[in-house]
Structure 1
């Protein structure tokens, strides 16, 4: 996001911008760092690129900060779930790479229902719901912002007993045959989306916000004169209000409980490029169309 659109930088060191002029660096150097344009197919390719190594280390640092797991001897009984590195370049509405995003995920397809997990269902916002949200914002003439929760699934305590293999390229040299016992949910686990949704919504409800009756991914807070509207799509959240004070309050509310990435005006969401005007919101898929004709 351009600096003038930024209303909060929760964790400056993870914010990346691959295209910044020398003049811009004078004022916003803390927003920028280098990124790789290539997407590795596996960990062996990734460890040859310093940018991706840093991204992988950053992911594991998130695990440590959230106390996600502990290294233990492999249990005699029980399923040990495999792990896999996922590499993806995050782009802006123009298709420029803004972040090298890494996820260490559990190979959840090896889980057994009733043993490794119970319930898995979690509501997800439909595209129609997002369009209705944009319509409300346009009619009420407020700016829509977006925020990402960093490693959202790592926040929820895991109630089931689960073990995963050590990640490729980062095995403990002293205990290479040990496994990790999970304390919190991991991306790829069958129960992870539900656990995250329940954690987030329960937190917001305790803070006085209300959940939609029909669309349970819609959260709102109304005062006598103003409205705060929030739409949840897993770890991506869009929100807006008729009051800037309520916007800042929501940002503070989220950042006090979860680690967030850059918060700024909505420009790209669910494959849609969004251009906000004073009295209108323009949606298009120019980036998608360009990729089709490549």
Structure 2
């Protein structure tokens, strides 16, 4: 089956946010339909030349200078606007606030795809507004799945957030200190926890043990360069032994491998 490519016009956003977005787009390549960022290569005040490309959604940073144009410009037929930040225009389809929850972004992009299918007559559903968290009959819904990332490495946390978003994990807590991690472990229940064993600023081993005690049925994972095939044999053997003793179920080698992570995230 041929993959369907959904083009997303990205306007504004910080370098860190764009990195997270690019990661999300890149990871979507593993799915049946993929999201592709589209950036107009034209002068700022000129009308973008899209050629044969149909842009399904405009993702706009409301704090950016370019956002002014999104307020005034009428959207092309079938295109939807996802606005991040305050002062959203009336024609915005979704409005998100910061800090950006990347799982929400992915969910909204999926909704755009569903809307396009509905518009084409392939699906019969209404995605013009977000679905309620509970139905009108008062059916109790399970709380959203939650994950914990314990690492001071921003790039690693951003990448893992994107992977969790693709696995449907909506709530992700990223912490950079042992004190914050211990507090979060005591406050919430998690389906997954990932601990950076190479982080010298954290007591990752103790935190992973505490996490496992509080969440015995969750997926306890850890990352380390010592698990890499490039590491020496004794280092790999020792860290595997130590993680087994600590009750860490999954040890991921750095650099992280998408296929390996996908296999484990599929269990969540």
TM-score of the two chains, using structure 1 as the length reference: 0.28
Determine which structure has the larger helix proportion and give its number: 2
Q: Relative contact order (C-alpha < 8 Å, sep 6+): which is higher?
A: 1
